Amino acid sequence: MLTLTPTAAQAIRDLTATAPEPQQSGVRISSKSENAGSLTLTLANAPEPMDAVVETEGARVYLDPVAATLLDDKALDAGADDQGGVSFLVTDKPA
């Protein structure tokens, strides 16, 4: 299952703090198509019915079935981009 770094968990908590339903809000990672060529990350008020849910330190990530399979052995990290916005990065889990 995907893991979250402490930095990613904080970034997600910051992003969802002002959401209409902060107790259920999170980010959703989904595939753009069945071939899983690319993934998108969006804010979500709640998971979709088939989503896997990853929760770490109060931060929630919802994964559609394709994304859950692709990211099973990965970690989600976060950092700031050049303009001060949040950027997320998928990495291999530390050994």
Q: What pLDDT, on a 0 to 100 scale, did the predictor assign at position 80?
A: 84
- pTM metric for this prediction: 0.89
Tell the CATH topology of 3-76.
Answer: Hypothetical Protein Aq_1857; Chain: A; (2.60.300)
Q: Above 70 in pLDDT, residue 95?
A: no
**Per-residue model confidence as pLDDT tens digits over 15-31:** 999 888 878 899 999 98
In angstroms, rounded to a whole number, what is the distance separating the alpha carbons of residues 65 and 71?
10
Q: Which contacts of 47-56 are long-range, i.e. CB under 8 A and separated by 24 or more positions? A: 52/1, 53/26, 54/1, 54/2, 54/3, 54/4, 55/26, 56/3, 56/4, 56/9
**What's the DSSP call for residue 83?**
T
In angstroms, rounded to a whole number, what is the distance separating the alpha carbons of residues 57 and 92?
20
Residue ranges per domain, the chain? Answer: 3-76
Q: Above 80 in pLDDT, residue 50?
A: yes
**Per-residue model confidence as pLDDT tens digits over 57-88:** 999 999 999 999 999 999 999 998 788 788 99
